[in-house]
Amino acid sequence: MGNYFSDLGPDFKKRTIKLQSIPAYQYDSSPKEELAAKSITKAELLELYESMLVIREFEEMILKCRTGAYEIISDYEYRGPTHLSIGQEATAAGACSTLNISDLITSTHRGHGDSIAKGFHAIKRMNEAELKARCPEYSDLKGEELREAVMEDHVYRTIAELFGKEAGYGKGRGGGMHIADFRVGHLGANAIVGGGIPIATGAAMTCRIDEEMKKRIVCCFAGDGAYSNGVVLESLNWACQEQFTGKIARTKFGLPVIYCIVNNHFGMTGRADGEVNGVDCLARRAAGFDNENMHAEVVNGMDVLAVRDAINRAKAILASGKGPVLLELDTYRYYGHSLSDPRNEYRTREEEARWKAVDPVDSFKKRLLDGKTFSEKELAAVEKKVADRNARAARRAADSANPDPKDVIKYMYADTSCEVVPAKFTKVEVYKPLPVVKRDADGKINYRDAIKEGIIEEMLRDKRVVLFGEDVADYGGAFKLSKGLLESFGRDRVFNTPISEACICGTAVGMAMTGYRPIAELMYMDFALMASDQISNQAAKWHYMTGASTKVPLVIRCSVGGGKGYGGQHSQSLESMFAHIPGTYVAYPSNPYDAKGLIKTAIRDDNPVIFVEGQLLYNMKGVVPESEYLIPFGQANVLREGSDITFVAWGPAVTDAMKAADMLEKEGISVEVIDPRTLVPFDWETVFASVRKTGRCVAISQCVDIGSYTGEIVSQIVSNCFDYLDSPVLKVGAKNGIAPQADTLEKAFLPTADDMVLAAKSLI
C-alpha cells in the first residue's frame, strides 16, 4: 500500500488528454431477426408486449380516474399524485425483463411503470413454490391459473398503494411515489428527484462485498432532471472510485450497478436539452467520473428490444467486475409533470405527434404483426386479459379497507434490534492484530477510545458492520478515532470516502436496506446539513413508508466542535433538528462509559441513529468495563440526586451542570441532575418523577436556545407536571446567534455553569 502511494509523484509532461467516444443508438434488429438468431423466444416477445400493456393500462386508469371515466370504479374518488409515465413503457419493461428475481431496482416519483415491470417479470420467473410463498391464499391453485392469480394480486396491491389502502405494498403509508416491493428486489420509488440514486449505489456496495449477494445487480432508474442534482453526481463519482478496482482494493470488483437515465426530455417543465443543460446528451456526464466513460451509451428508449439489448450487455460488463455502467434511455412522456400541467406552454402538438409516431407499445405491436410473429387475434387476447385484470384489481382495491386512523404513526420505528447475529456473519476475518485500547491504573480510558472499543467489538461480532467516512481509513479519521481499524478489518469494511456527505449518508441507507449495518462518519455535525435529505427524507422514512417492509439499521456519527474556536460552520450542536425528524433516533453520550454502551446499542438497533459526539469530551476519562455491556435507548441516568431543583442536560452541558450543582450545594440548594443520554427515544418518566419531587426544573444544552429540544422538555413538563410545579420551567442554552471564532465571544456564546446557577436561583 505504501509503495503504491509513494509512486504517485508529479508528471508535468506536455500532453493532450483525450476522452473516449460514447456510442448511441447501436441496436438495429427486429423481433423476427431476434427469433432467427435465437436471442429471444416467442414467449419472451409476448411477455414484453404484455408487460408494456400492463403499465399502459395502469397509467391510463389513473388518467381516467381523474374524470370518472374509468367505469368500473367511477364511484371512487381518487386523490393523490398523478405523475404519469405514458410513453416510457419500453424503458421499464425492457430493463426489468432481463433482471433476476433477486436483482435490485430503485425508481422515481414517476415510478409506477418500474414497479409494475419488476414485479411482473419476477412473477413470470417464479416457480410454483415461490408463487405460493408469495401468495399463500392461492395455494390450492396450480400452473398458469396460479401465476395469473399472483399477477393480479401484484396489480391489485400496486393500485391499493396508489389509493392509500391497507392492502397496498406500503400499507397505504407511502403511496404511489414511494411504492416498493422488497420481495422482488424493488427498494422503492422516490419522491425526491435523484434521492434513490445514492441508495442504489449503497445497495451495490452490499452486492459487491457480500458473498451471497455478489451475483445480484442493481438497476437504478432516474429521470433526466436528476442528473443535474448534486447527490446524483456524487453517487456517480462514488461508484467509480479506483479503490474498488485498483491496486489498494482487497476485493477487485467494480460496483454492480446500472444507472439508467430515463431521459423523457423534461424535468418538470424545463427541457434537459437546449435549455438547462450544456451537453448534447446526458451520457456525457459519465466522462467526468471514469476514464472508460462508465461504458456509457445512448439507447433508443422507445424500443423495448433496444433497451433489453443494452441492459443485457451492461449486465455482462458488471459480471466481469468492470462496473458501473451508465445508460441514457432516450424516451418521452406524453403528459405533463402532473395532470394539472396542460403542457401547451413549453411544447407543441407537432412535437408530441412525432414522438407518438414511434410509440413503444404500438410500434412493437406493429413489428410483431409485420413479422408474422403473432396474429391480431393473439395480441388482442393479451390486450383483453390485461384490461380485464386491471379492472378487477381496481375494483377490489377501491373496495378494500382504509388504514385505521388509530394506526397513523404505526411503523414509525422498528421495535427490534440485532440480538443474534446470523451464523454466516459471525465469521469475521481479522488481517492484523486489533488496535489495543489501553487503560490506566484506575481502569480508565477516554471518551474517544470508548467509542472506538465499542465499534471494534461490534465489528468483531458482526461482519455486516462497516465503517466509512472522510479520512477514516489510513489516517484514522480527523480525531484518530478509527486509527488501526483499516489494517485489522480490511478496506471492504473500513474505507475512505469522497468529501460527499450526502452520498456518505445515502449509500449507508442503501447498504442498510440491503441487510448491512453501516456506520457513516460525518467529520462535523454541521456537515449533516449537506446530507439532510438522505438523513431526513430517506433514512428516517423508509420503514414507515413501506409499512415496515424494510429496516434501515445505520449509525451516523457526528462530532460537535463547539468550544474550540472553529466558528460558525464547524461548531453547531444540531441534535435538536434531527430530534424533530420522526423516524430517527438521537443519542448524545456525556461520558466514556455511556459512549461505549450507547454506540454498541446504536449499531445493533434496527433504526437509523444520529450518534452525536462532543469533541470537547474526546479526552475525558472514565472507568469503562472491558466486558460486554449495552445501555438501552430511552433510559436516562440520574447522575446526582437532589430535592430542590432538577437539571436535565446532555452532552458537554452535563459537565457544566454538575459544576453548577456543586456551586449551588454550597449555598444550600440541592440539585438533581439527569442526563437523558438519548433525546429520541426520551425517558420522560424519569424526568417527570424528578420534577414532581423537586417542583422546579431547568433544561440545559449547548444548542442555540431558540428551537432547541430543551423547549420540548419544558412543554412536556408543563403538560404532565403542572400541578407539582412551584415555579416556571426554564431553559439554558447557547445564545440565539452564530458561533463566533473569537475566544472571548465564544465563551459568552456557550452556556456556562454560572448561567445555570443564575437560572436555578431565579426559581428559588
Q: What is the mean pLDDT of residues 173-181?
A: 95
Decide: 47 and 93 in contact? Cβ < 8 Å: no
Burial class (CB in 10 A: 0-12, 13-18, 19+), 315: buried
Stated as kind and residue range, the H or E segment containing 674 is strand 671-675
Q: How far apart are the first and last CA of the chain?
A: 64
The secondary structure of residue 80, as a DSSP letter, is S
Q: Per mean pLDDT, which range of 48-57, 76-85, 202-211 is the poorest?
A: 76-85
Our CA angle for 254, 255, 259, nearest 5°, is: 125
CA distance 180 to 760: 52
Query: Is position 34 annotated as part of the catalytic site?
Result: no
Residue 366, classed as helix, strand or coil, is helix
Decide: 263 and 274 in contact? Cβ < 8 Å: no
How sure is the predictor about 4, in pLDDT bands with cuts at 50, 70 and 90?
Answer: low
Our CA angle for 320, 507, 423, nearest 5°, is: 75
CA distance 124 to 551: 27
- Residue 295 gets the label, from left (phi > 0), alpha (psi -120 to 50) or beta, of left
Smallest CA-to-CA distance from 180 within 494, 455, 545 is with: 545
In the chain, the domains with their CATH numbers are: 31-401 (3.40.50.970), 423-623 (3.40.50.970), 637-763 (3.40.50.920)
pLDDT tops 60 at residue 5? no
- Residue 103 gets the label, from left (phi > 0), alpha (psi -120 to 50) or beta, of beta
What pLDDT, on a 0 to 100 scale, did the predictor assign at position 66? 85
What pLDDT, on a 0 to 100 scale, did the predictor assign at position 9? 82
Catalytic residue, chosen from 570, 613, 672, 746, is 570
Retrieve residue 47's grid coordinates: 411477455
What pLDDT, in 10s, does the model give residues 194-216? 999 999 999 999 999 999 999 99
What pLDDT, on a 0 to 100 scale, did the predictor assign at position 274? 85
Query: Is position 570 annotated as part of the catalytic site?
Result: yes
pLDDT tops 90 at residue 415? yes
Q: How far is CA 390 from the centre of its chain?
A: 31
Residue 256: asked if its preceding bond is cis (omega within 30°), the reply is: no
Smallest CA-to-CA distance from 294 within 523, 22, 513, 652 is with: 22
Find where cell 416510457 sits.
Answer: 88
- Residue 205 gets the label, from left (phi > 0), alpha (psi -120 to 50) or beta, of alpha
Our CA angle for 27, 29, 34, nearest 5°, is: 120
What pLDDT, in 10s, does the model give residues 535-576? 999 999 999 999 999 999 999 999 999 989 999 999 999 999
What pLDDT, in 10s, does the model give residues 623-664? 999 999 999 999 999 999 999 999 999 999 999 999 999 999
Retrieve residue 65's grid coordinates: 380516474
Residue 417, classed as helix, strand or coil, is strand
What pLDDT, in 10s, does the model give residues 696-746? 999 999 999 999 999 999 999 999 999 999 999 999 999 999 999 999 999
pLDDT tops 60 at residue 1? no
Mean of per-residue pLDDT scores for the chain: 96
The residue count for the chain: 764
Retrieve residue 759's grid coordinates: 437560572
Q: Count other Cβ atoms within 10 Å, centred on residue 312.
A: 14
Backbone angles phi, psi at 624, to 5 degrees: -130, 115
**pLDDT: is 317 or 8 the higher one?**
317
Decide: 488 and 432 in contact? Cβ < 8 Å: yes
What pLDDT, in 10s, does the model give residues 117-168? 999 999 999 999 999 999 999 999 999 999 999 999 999 999 999 999 999 9
What pLDDT, on a 0 to 100 scale, did the predictor assign at position 6? 58
Q: What is the mean pLDDT of residues 472-498?
A: 97
- Torsion of Cα atoms, 690 then 691 then 697 then 698, to 10°: 40
Residue type, 418: C
Helix axes 42-65, 112-125, angle to 10 degrees: 140
Q: Count other Cβ atoms within 10 Å, centred on residue 566.
A: 17
CA distance 655 to 673: 10
> Over the Cα atoms of the chain, what is R_g?
29
Q: What is the mean pLDDT of residues 169-187?
A: 96
Catalytic residue, chosen from 50, 501, 613, 672, is 501
Retrieve residue 556's grid coordinates: 451516523
Find where cell 489498494 sits.
Answer: 248
Residue 512, classed as helix, strand or coil, is helix
The secondary structure of residue 476, as a DSSP letter, is -
How sure is the predictor about 340, in pLDDT bands with cuts at 50, 70 and 90?
Answer: confident
CA distance 718 to 747: 31
Q: What is the mean pLDDT of residues 370-381?
A: 97
Stated as kind and residue range, the H or E segment containing 61 is helix 42-65
Decide: 577 and 667 in contact? Cβ < 8 Å: no
Smallest CA-to-CA distance from 220 within 294, 306, 135, 123 is with: 294
